[in-house]
Amino acid sequence: MSPRLVAEFVLLAALWGASFLFMRQAALAFGPVATAGLRVAIAGAVLLPVLVLSGHWRAFRAHAGRILFVGLLNAGIPFGLFAYAVLSISTGLTAILNATVPLFGALVAWLWLGDRPGRWRALGLALGFAGVALLSWNKAHFGTGGTGWAVLACLGATVLYAIAASYTKKYLMGIPPMATAAGSQFGATLGLLLPTVWTWPTQPAGVDAWLAVGAAGVLCTALAYLLYFRLIEAAGPARTLTVTFLIPVFAVAYGALLLGETITPWMVGCGAVILIGVALSSGLIDPRRWRLARRPAALP
């Protein structure tokens, strides 16, 4: 990739890593549901003129029902679950669990679309889920003060992301990505409108909370989506997908520097196991290519 694309790639990881920090600051004042509702509403408002000016409004209207539905699966509900989780567990741990999306994506694609993984991808799935189990086993306490529900919320959000990916592949292929990206925020906004009103806090939120939710909507959602699809077009989906590896790095760093969160060797080790599993299961690492590369070329 060119230096400019590398800079945009790092910026995308930094923005998505910061989303957990902003969600935590906003959720403390607004609550998880209202935080998610505000985030997608702000992102939708920013992306609406981009969608119209890009000429993809007609494509959105032609497939509005399915695009709006996938918005709930891919933005509305997961954002609410993550906003709930960061109130109980560290933003770094939340980001590491979020990195399991490709694992669940491969599993859902196998069960729903019949995309059976090969031997090495299956090994990656097993390795990744083993890393999740090791990371979560001493945190899945559901009693008073436990964080088990927060861990389950993170995993539930990643499952919804995975289902949304397979749904998109099955029903929304060929639709301009901008129509899907912007339209999904509209769908999430509509789906969370009433829950946001019902759970709106009785005490007015402070300026810091508004700035946090605004940053989550404008920077970590609208701008991040624009960067994401630009990178897919310029560098290809396989390279862009490797942003998954950088997001936890930024999130852990933000949590440690700005919130005083503790980074334990166990968290780092389990996170590395999960990311290796993600790389294998998504095909970013394929040992078969190494064997072919070491094999001597045939004589002419």
Return per-residue pLDDT of the chain as tens, 300 residues. 678 878 888 898 899 999 999 999 999 999 999 999 999 999 999 999 999 999 999 999 999 999 999 999 989 999 999 999 999 888 888 888 888 887 788 788 888 878 777 777 778 778 877 877 777 666 656 655 668 889 899 999 999 988 988 888 889 888 888 898 899 999 999 999 999 999 999 999 999 999 999 999 999 999 998 888 777 767 766 566 667 778 888 888 888 888 888 878 878 887 888 778 777 766 666 666 655 444 443 433
pTM: 0.85
8 A C-beta contact, residue 37 and residue 192: yes
pLDDT given at position 293: 45
In angstroms, rounded to a whole number, what is the distance separating the alpha carbons of residues 250 and 92? Answer: 8
pLDDT given at position 189: 97
pLDDT given at position 294: 46
8 A C-beta contact, residue 191 and residue 71: yes
For the chain, the structural domain boundaries read 3-285
In angstroms, rounded to a whole number, what is the distance separating the alpha carbons of residues 176 and 179? Answer: 5
pLDDT given at position 296: 45
pLDDT given at position 10: 87
pLDDT given at position 146: 61
Question: CA neighbours within 13 Å on the CB side: how many for 180?
Answer: 18
